[in-house]
C-alpha cells in the first residue's frame, strides 16, 4: 500500500475522531498553536454521553468548549502544563488543581515515563501539516513534546491543518503515517495567530533601558555575538527594539519560543547566528507563536530549526551557547531574591490559590546561564516594581506563593528603578539590592520589615550610595 492509499484508509471525520473517546480515558489535545480545537468542539457535544475523561493541554490559547459546557469538571477532568490568559479564570474559580507542575525541558521524559508507569495515554490528538510525498507529517509551529506523546499513546490521531507551516527541524519534528492510527482534516478552525502589536508602557521602556545600560565588571549583559532568549509581550518587544537601535551585531537565537520580535531582528541583520557553537546559522526554538508574517517566514526556511523541548531547554545545551543572555518576567520577588512567576498566594475573596501560568522554561534558562561554559551567561528576571498600587517586591513571598526560581539560582533582577546582581550575596546584601530596585514609595517600609524578619540586624540603616552589586540604578 502506498502512502496515499494508507492516508485515505485512515481518514475519518472530526466527529468520528471525537467519538473515539470513551469514559475513563486519558486524552491529550496538544498545546499552543497546535491545540486540537476541532476535537474540543466535537468532544464538548458528547458531554452527556461520557464520564471521567481526563483531558490534557498546555499553553492554552483558547477557552475550551469542554470547559464551557462542563464548568465544574464533572465529566472532563481538564489539566494544563502551562495556563495562559483564556483559562486563568478557571484557576481563580477552582484553585491550582488544574495545573501540572513541571520543568519544561523535562516534559518529554515525564510523558514517556509517567504514562508508562502510572497513567497511560489512551489517545493523543496531534495537530500537523498536510502529509508530504514521503508520508511524513510535520508538527509545524509546536515541536515541544509532540513526538513523545505519539510514542506512548495507545492511539495517535493527527489533525491536519492546511495553513500550518512546515518548519524544518533538528529531530523529532515529524511523524510518519505508519505511526498514525487515524487522520482528521480540520477545515473549520483557522490557525491561531497574534498580530505583532505590544505597545510598550513607560515601565517597559524603563526596564529595557536599565537592562541595556547595566554593566557587570565593565561589560554589558548583552554583547555583540550573544545568543539570546526572550519571551513575548511588551517588555521583551521593547528590549528587542532597543537592541536594534543600539547597533548590536551577530546575535544568535536559542530559545523556547520564536516570536515576531526575533523575526524583526533577523530582518534587520542584527541576528545572524554566525557565532553560535551549536546549530550555527540557525535560529532554534521549540514552539512559535505570532503573526501570519512570522508563519510565512518559518515555512520550510533553512535558517530556522525546531527541536523537542528536551533539547532547546536542556540547561547543558543552553550553557554551551556563547555569551548566553536570557530574559524572563516575574510576578513577585522577596527581599531574599526568591522569584514567583506563576502562582499567587491565597486570594482574599476566594481563599484559594491562583495559578497564573506555569514554570515553563524560566528555570531551564536560568540554569543554562548559570552553567555557562564561557562564564559570560546572564539570566535576567525582570519585573514591574508595583501592581495596582502595591509593591511587587515583598519582605517575604506570601503563603501559598510558588517559588519558580530559588534564591540560590537567581543571578540578575531588573525593575524600572535599576538592575542588581544577586548571585553570591548574603541575605542582608540581597535585601539591600532588592530595596534599591523597589519603588521609592515602598523602600522605607521594606527596610523596616527586613529588620523585623531578622534580615537586617537591629537598628541597621542602609548605607548611602549605590553598592557595586547594583549594576545600574535610575537617579
Sign of CA dihedral 108, 82, 60, 46: positive
**Residue 367 confidence class, pLDDT cut points 50, 70, 90:** very high
pLDDT of residue 347: 74
Least confident of 136-140, 180-184, 397-401: 397-401
Q: Examine residue 196 and state whether it is found in any structural domain, yes or no.
A: no
**Residue 234 confidence class, pLDDT cut points 50, 70, 90:** confident
Cβ(261)–Cβ(270) below 8 Å: no
Buried b (16+ CB within 10 A) or exposed e, 212-246: bbbebeeebbbbebbbbbbbbebbbbbbbbbbbee
Q: Examine residue 197 and state whether it is found in any structural domain, yes or no.
A: no
pLDDT of residue 378: 97
Query: What's the average model confidence in pLDDT over 387-403?
Result: 95
Query: What's the average model confidence in pLDDT over 287-294?
Result: 95
Residue 475 clears pLDDT 80, i.e. is over it = no
Mean pLDDT of the chain: 95
Same-domain check for residues 151 and 237: no
Task: Return the C-alpha torsion angle 54, 60, 66, 71, nearest 10.
Answer: 90
Same-domain check for residues 169 and 237: no
Share of the chain above pLDDT 70, in %: 99
CA–CA dist 229, 285 (Å, integer): 9
Q: Examine residue 194 and state whether it is found in any structural domain, yes or no.
A: no
Residues β-bridged to residue 159:
127, 184
Q: What is the pTM of this model?
A: 0.96
Query: What's the average model confidence in pLDDT over 276-282?
Result: 97
CA–CA dist 40, 425 (Å, integer): 49
Instruction: Report which of 334, 343, 356 is spatially closest to residue 410, judged by C-alpha positions.
Output: 334
Q: Examine residue 99 and state whether it is found in any structural domain, yes or no.
A: yes
pLDDT in tens, 115-135: 888 999 999 999 999 999 999
pLDDT of residue 210: 96
CATH number at residue 13: 3.40.1080.10
Q: Examine residue 263 and state whether it is found in any structural domain, yes or no.
A: yes
Please give the residue range of the domain that contains residue 68.
3-185
Q: Examine residue 192 and state whether it is found in any structural domain, yes or no.
A: no
Cβ(29)–Cβ(156) below 8 Å: no
Which of 124, 156, 185 is where one domain is finished? 185
pLDDT in tens, 416-457: 999 999 999 999 999 999 999 999 999 999 999 999 999 999
CATH number at residue 319: 3.40.1080.20
**Residue 232 confidence class, pLDDT cut points 50, 70, 90:** confident
Residue keyed to cell 564561557: 374
Same-domain check for residues 302 and 389: yes
Which of 160, 185, 210 is where one domain is finished? 185
Query: What's the average model confidence in pLDDT over 146-156?
Result: 98
Same-domain check for residues 156 and 263: no
Same-domain check for residues 265 and 328: yes
Same-domain check for residues 169 and 119: yes
Same-domain check for residues 280 and 250: yes
pLDDT of residue 231: 74
Which of 159, 185, 211 is where one domain is finished? 185
pLDDT in tens, 306-348: 999 999 999 999 999 999 999 999 999 999 999 999 998 877 6
Query: What's the average model confidence in pLDDT over 149-171?
Result: 98
Q: Examine residue 425 and state whether it is found in any structural domain, yes or no.
A: yes
* Assigned C-alpha cell, 361: 522554561
**Residue 198 confidence class, pLDDT cut points 50, 70, 90:** low
pLDDT of residue 195: 72
Catalytic annotation, pick one of 28, 151, 173, 256: 256
Q: Examine residue 193 and state whether it is found in any structural domain, yes or no.
A: no
Same-domain check for residues 291 and 235: yes
Instruction: Report which of 95, 99, 47, 98 is spatially closest to residue 70, judged by C-alpha positions.
Output: 47
Over the chain, what HEC string results?
A: CCHHHHHHHHEECHHHHHCCCCCCCEEEEEECCEECHHHHHHHHCCHHHCCCEEEEEECCCCCCHHHHHCCCCCCEEEEECCCCHHHHHHHHHHCHHHECCCCHHHHHHHHHHHHHHCCCCCEEEEEECCCCCCCEEECCCECECHHHHHHHCCEEEEEECCCCCCCCECCCCEEEHHHCCEEEECCCCCCCCCCCCCCCCHHHHHHHHHHHHCEECCEECCCCCCEEEECCCHHHHHHHHHHHHCCCCCEEEECCEECHHHHHHHHCCCECCCCCCCCCCCEEECEECCCHHHHHHHCCCCCEEECEHHHHCCHHHHCCCCCCEEEEECCEEECCCCEECCEECCCCCCCCCEECCCCCCHHHHHHHHHCCCCCCCEEEEECCCEECCEECEECCCCCCCCCCECCCCCCEEEECCEEEECCCCCHHHHHHHHHHHCCHHHHHHHHHHHHHHCCCCCCCCCCCCCCCCEEEECC
Query: What's the average model confidence in pLDDT over 50-68?
Result: 96
Is residue 93 among the annotated active site residues?
no
Same-domain check for residues 9 and 112: yes
Q: 462 φ, ψ to 5°?
A: -65, 130
Side-chain-side CA neighbours of 432 within 13 Å: the count stands at 20
pLDDT of residue 197: 61
Please tell me the total count of domains within the chain.
Answer: 2
Same-domain check for residues 156 and 275: no
pLDDT of residue 352: 84
Same-domain check for residues 406 and 320: yes
Same-domain check for residues 18 and 126: yes
CA–CA dist 280, 260 (Å, integer): 21
- Return the higher-pLDDT residue of 58 and 230: 58
CA–CA dist 31, 28 (Å, integer): 9
Amino acid at each position: 500500500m502506498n502512502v496515499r492509499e494508507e492516508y485515505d484508509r485512515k481518514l475519518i471525520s472530526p466527529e468520528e475522531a471525537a467519538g473515539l473517546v470513551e469514559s475513563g480515558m486519558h486524552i491529550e489535545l496538544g498545546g499552543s498553536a497546535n491545540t486540537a480545537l476541532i476535537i474540543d468542539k466535537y468532544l464538548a457535544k458528547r458531554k452527556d454521553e461520557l464520564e471521567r475523561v481526563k483531558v490534557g493541554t498546555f499553553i492554552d490559547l483558547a477557552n475550551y468548549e469542554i470547559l464551557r459546557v462542563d464548568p465544574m469538571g464533572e465529566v472532563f477532568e481538564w489539566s494544563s502544563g502551562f495556563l495562559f490568559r483564556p483559562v486563568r479564570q478557571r484557576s481563580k474559580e477552582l484553585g491550582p488543581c488544574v495545573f501540572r507542575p513541571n520543568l519544561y525541558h523535562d516534559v518529554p521524559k515525564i510523558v514517556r515515563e509517567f504514562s508508562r508507569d502510572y497513567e497511560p495515554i489512551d489517545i493523543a490528538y496531534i495537530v500537523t501539516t498536510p502529509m508530504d510525498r514521503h508520508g511524513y507529517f510535520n508538527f509545524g509551529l509546536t515541536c515541544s513534546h509532540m513526538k513523545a506523546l505519539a510514542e506512548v499513546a495507545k492511539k495517535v490521531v493527527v489533525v491536519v491543518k492546511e495553513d500550518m507551516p512546515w518548519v524544518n527541524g533538528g529531530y523529532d519534528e515529524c511523524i510518519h503515517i505508519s505511526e498514525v492510527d487515524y487522520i482528521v482534516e480540520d477545515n473549520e478552525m483557522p490557525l491561531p495567530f497574534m498580530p505583532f502589536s505590544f505597545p510598550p508602557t513607560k515601565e517597559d521602556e524603563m526596564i529595557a533601558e536599565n537592562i541595556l545600560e547595566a554593566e557587570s565588571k565593565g561589560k554589558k549583559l548583552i554583547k555583540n555575538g550573544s545568543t539570546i532568549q526572550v519571551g513575548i509581550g511588551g517588555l521583551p518587544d521593547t528590549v528587542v527594539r532597543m537592541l536594534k537601535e543600539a547597533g548590536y551585531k551577530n546575535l544568535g537565537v536559542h530559545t523556547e519560543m520564536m516570536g515576531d520580535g526575533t523575526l524583526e531582528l533577523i530582518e534587520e541583520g542584527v541576528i545572524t547566528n554566525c557565532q553560535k557553537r551549536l546549530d550555527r546559522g540557525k535560529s532554534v526554538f521549540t514552539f512559535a507563536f505570532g503573526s501570519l508574517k512570522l508563519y510565512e517566514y518559518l515555512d520550510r526556511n533553512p535558517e530556522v530549526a525546531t527541536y523537542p523541548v528536551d533539547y532547546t531547554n536542556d540547561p547543558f545545551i543552553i550553557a554551551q551557547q556563547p555569551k548566553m543572555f536570557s530574559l524572563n518576567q516575574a510576578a513577585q520577588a522577596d527581599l531574599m531574591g526568591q522569584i514567583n512567576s506563576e502562582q499567587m498566594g491565597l486570594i482574599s475573596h476566594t481563599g484559594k490559590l491562583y495559578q497564573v501560568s506555569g514554570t515553563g522554561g524560566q528555570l531551564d534558562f536560568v540554569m543554562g546561564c548559570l552553567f555557562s561554559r564561557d562564564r559570560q551567561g546572564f539570566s535576567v528576571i525582570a519585573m514591574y516594581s508595583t501592581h495596582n498600587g502595591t509593591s511587587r517586591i515583598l519582605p517575604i513571598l506570601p503563603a501559598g506563593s510558588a517559588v519558580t526560581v530559588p534564591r540560590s539560582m537567581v543571578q540578575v533582577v531588573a525593575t524600572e528603578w535599576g538592575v542588581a546582581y544577586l548571585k553570591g550575596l548574603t541575605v542582608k546584601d540581597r535585601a539591600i539590592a532588592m530595596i534599591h530596585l523597589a519603588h521609592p514609595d515602598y523602600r522605607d517600609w521594606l527596610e523596616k520589615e527586613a529588620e523585623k524578619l531578622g534580615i537586617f540586624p537591629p537598628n541597621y540603616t542602609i548605607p548611602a550610595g549605590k553598592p557595586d552589586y547594583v549594576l545600574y540604578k535610575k537617579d
